[in-house]
Structures are given as C-alpha cells and as structure tokens.
Amino acid sequence: MLPRYEGQGGSLELGCAGDGGGMMLNYLKGEAYRIAHGRAAYLFAGTLCAIVLAANVLLWAMSSTPGFPYATVRFSMSNLVSMLPLLFYMAGLLVWVLFADDRKDGTLKNAIAHGCSRRDLFLGKCLVATVLGLAILAVVLAVYVGSAVLLLEGSTEAVAILLEGVASALPFTAACVVLGVAVCSALPKTVTAFLVWVAVVSVIPAVLNVIGLGVEPVARLASWLPANFFANEVAINQSGLAQFLWDTPEGLAKCLIAGIAGIAVFGAVGLWRAGKAEL
C-alpha cells in the first residue's frame, strides 16, 4: 500500500507505483497536493508581492515631495529591468523552499521505496518547480505592474520593455531551477548545495568577467554567461537612455541559446548524478 499525505482537503497517495508515465504522474499529483496544502509556496509568493507593492507605494508616497522625479511607471519598471538576474536567484530560492527538507523528512526515501526512480524524481521536481515558478511570477508581475500603473505617473511604455526582458530571461531562469534541483539532489548538505549553486550562477561568471578584461578568449566566454550579459548589456534610466539586449536578433538569440544550453547541461548533469546520490 502506498503512503498517503493527510491534509484538510483529504488525502492523496504519494507513491509512484505503476509503469512509465503513470509513476511520474502520481508523483506530480502528490507534489501538487503537498504544495497546495502547505504554506511555503504561499509565503514565498506573498513575500515577493508585498515587496514589490511596498516599493511602488513608497514611490507614490514620495510623489508629494517637491522636485521628486522618481514617482513614475518608467522608474519603477526600470528597477527590475536593470536587475533581471534577480529572477535567477528567485528561481534558486524557490527550489530550496520546496525541496530543501526532502532528505530530512524522508520524502525521497518513501518515493523511491514505492517505485519512483531517482531520475523520475529529478525530472518531476524540475517540472513542479518550473510550473509553480511561472505561476508565482505571473502573480508577482501582476501586482508589480498593476500597482505601478494605478499609483504612479507617466507612460506605460516601460511595462512592455519589462515584460520583454522577463521573457528573454525565462530560459536561463528555468535553467537555474534545474541546477537547483540537481545540486539539492546530489549534495547531502543544504548549505553546500546552495554555495555550489551560487558559484555556478554568479561567482564563476563574475570571475571570468574580471579575467576577461585582460584575456580576450575568456572575455568572449564570459560574454555568453547570463549573469554577465544581463548585467552588462541592459540599461535604462529616467533620461531616456536605454540599451536592451533582446531588442536585436543577435541579443535575443544569445538569451535563448544560453538559457537552453543551461537547461540541457544542468539537466544532463542532474540526471547523471541522480542515480549516484546518497539519500
């Protein structure tokens, strides 16, 4: 008999007994039930919504100050446009919120004991985190853009720029989810996994960027790392000066290629390590 998750809405079997796609589907249903009846995802989404709403409310409150030039939709949107790598960190944080305690509470052992392969678990976690992340992103953007448009002045042209930028960052954001699942599955200690994730996403690109200042081949490699090109090739300010990587076919292709390559590489490593990791 399969283990069941008990909650206010009833219970759901969390095992993966079955064949092929049925095993994966049963695991996905169990994870969906666990997340829907838990608090972690709601707290994560609610905290992000509260932060972006507070930022726009603060700008609105400051609009009564004589000479204050920043209570505009353009300025509000420019904050995220100029910091799109934040999406990568939110993706990694979401993985930790969802799965960091899997080893501690025995979820992995229970699922494997009832028929799920480790590779199925890896793929299932990637899918669950990606779908949930997209849903949370949609809600947070709705709160962010909606409050800016309602509270602040100026043209809404920057909203379209923001949405284009977020769309261009989504492929590597998904790659960051896959990397997060991979390191959480492969490494027994949460802190170690987190440090490895940060090193791959942020530290190594920053080091290569510095080395590239004096070594041309390294500079070319560093220019293809998302943490670098979203930081160096995107700019927007109040005076109208703007530079958007995704406005050119070459820049958009770089975003897509780097993101898809990240998903493929991190996914391949995660699948390879999934069969070797200790529970």
pLDDT per residue as tens digits for the range 223-274? 999 999 998 888 776 555 577 889 899 999 999 999 999 999 999 999 988 7
Residues 85 and 230: their CA atoms lie apart, in Å, by: 7
Note the pLDDT tens digit of each residue in 189-230. Answer: 888 888 999 999 999 999 999 999 999 999 999 999 999 999
* Domain contains 108: yes
Q: What is the mean pLDDT of residues 50-65?
A: 94
Alpha helices in 154-275 (DSSP H): 157-186, 190-198, 204-211, 216-222, 226-232, 249-274
Given a cut of 60, whether residue 159 has pLDDT beyond it is yes
Residues 164 and 60: their CA atoms lie apart, in Å, by: 25
Residue 87's pLDDT band (cuts 50, 70, 90): very high
Residue 88's pLDDT band (cuts 50, 70, 90): very high
* Domain contains 16: no
Q: Which stretch of DSSP H or E encloses residue 4? A: strand 4-7
Q: Higher-confidence residue: 133 or 244?
A: 133
* Domain contains 188: yes
* Domain contains 7: no
* Domain contains 10: no
Instruction: Tell me how crowded residue 176 is: count the other CB atoms within 10 A of its CB.
Output: 31
Give the pLDDT confidence score for residue 14 in this predicted structure: 47
Given a cut of 60, whether residue 76 has pLDDT beyond it is yes
Tally of domains within the chain:
1
Residues 230 and 238: their CA atoms lie apart, in Å, by: 19
What is the four-CA torsion angle of 251, 257, 192, 14, rounded to 10 degrees? 130
DSSP states along 23-65: HHHHHHHHHHHHHHTSSHHHHHHHHHHHHHHHHHHHHHHHTTS
Give the pLDDT confidence score for residue 1 in this predicted structure: 38
Q: Which of 128-137, 157-166, 236-245 has the lowest mean pLDDT?
A: 236-245
* Domain contains 198: yes
Q: Determine the angle formed by the axes of helices 157-186 and 190-198, rounding to 10 degrees.
A: 130
**Residue-range definition of the domain harbouring residue 216:** 21-274
Given a cut of 90, whether residue 185 has pLDDT beyond it is no
Note the pLDDT tens digit of each residue in 98-116. Answer: 887 766 655 666 666 556 7
pTM of structure? 0.86
Which residues make Cβ contacts (< 8 Å) with residue 199, sequence separation at least 6?
A: none
Give the pLDDT confidence score for residue 24 in this predicted structure: 73
Give the pLDDT confidence score for residue 241 in this predicted structure: 59
Cβ contact 63:153 at 8 Å: yes
Amino acid (one-letter) located at 226: P
Give the pLDDT confidence score for residue 50 in this predicted structure: 97
* pLDDT, mean over the chain: 85
Cβ contact 125:30 at 8 Å: no
* Domain contains 258: yes
Give the pLDDT confidence score for residue 139 in this predicted structure: 97
* Domain contains 52: yes
Which residues make Cβ contacts (< 8 Å) with residue 238, sequence separation at least 6?
A: 69, 70, 72, 74, 75, 78
